[in-house]
Amino acid sequence: MSSAATKAVAIDAPPMVEVMVASLVDVTKEIFSTMLDRTVEFGAPTFAGPQPTANVVATVGYAGTLSGYISLCVSKEAALEIAQALLGSSAEEAHEHVRDAAGEMANMIAGSVRTNMTDRGEQLGISTPIVTVGTDFSTAALRDVSQAVVPFKMGPHNLFAYLVLQGRK
């Protein structure tokens, strides 16, 4: 196989991933606007890994006719701003809720994407959120999955949504 053919396979997004990315962008805009009163601007998605590095990674899994997960990847500064806006509280109170706030945002994003996929005939369950916090770590999906990195900005902060889909093209 030529290198060009190999490259074409690597960058061509499977349709279901494209469908879910479109849903992911729509629901993330709505959730940041509704729950945080923040406008977010999306960049172009890329359909290859690795998962972006971040201080706070909130992940919600899918199981059913589709299998995979969505992660919300943010810096600790962005996570604190999200917590403060979500709770409508002081920075001091928000600090205690940074992990759970990121988890709730990921839960709402994944839940809303699930609803959109259910409307398309998929049968999906979602997991409880898992939130990883740290300063020097990386996470990676298995090799044979479809994935998408979706960058977006909230004010000065660079955030990412990361989608992994297994077993469906």
Partner 1 sequence: MRVLVVDDSSTMRRIIVNTLKKLGHEDTVEAGDGKEALRALAAGVPDVIVTDWNMPEMNGPQFVEAVRSQPQLAKTPVLMVTTQAAKEDVIVALQAGVNDYLIKPFTPEALKEKINSLTRKP
Q: Which tokens sit at 41? A: 């601007």
- Interface region with partner 1, contact rule CB under 8 A, candidates 2-10, 100-108, 137-145, 161-169: 100-108
Helix (H, G, I), strand (E, B), or coil: what is residue 160? strand
**What are the E-state strand segments in 46-95?**
56-64, 67-74
- Say which amino acid occupies 112: S
- Interface region with partner 1, contact rule CB under 8 A, candidates 15-23, 41-49, 93-101, 144-152: 93-101
When the beta carbons of 81 and 104 are compared against partner 1, the nearer one is 104
CB of 39 to partner 1, least distance (A): 14
Q: Which tokens sit at 28? A: 């993330």
Q: Which tokens sit at 84? A: 């403060």
The answer to whether the beta carbons of residues 150 and 163 sit under 8 Å apart is yes
Count, residues in the chain: 169
Does 31 sit near partner 1 (CB under 8 A)? yes
Does 97 sit near partner 1 (CB under 8 A)? yes
Pairing of strands 40-42, 130-133: unpaired
- Interface region with partner 1, contact rule CB under 8 A, candidates 7-15, 29-37, 40-48, 136-144: 29-37
Q: What is the DSSP letter of 121?
A: T
Does 35 sit near partner 1 (CB under 8 A)? yes
Does 26 sit near partner 1 (CB under 8 A)? no
Q: Which tokens sit at 169? A: 């093209």
CB of 131 to partner 1, least distance (A): 11
Q: Which tokens sit at 102? A: 């990121």
When the beta carbons of 49 and 76 are compared against partner 1, the nearer one is 76
Report the C-alpha gap between 72 and 59 in whole angstroms: 6
Residue numbers 106-135 binding partner 1 by CB under 8 A: 107-108, 110-112, 114-115, 118, 126, 128
Using CB under 8 A, list all residues that contact partner 1. Answer: 30-31, 34-35, 83, 86-89, 93, 97, 100-101, 103-104, 107-108, 110-112, 114-115, 118, 126, 128
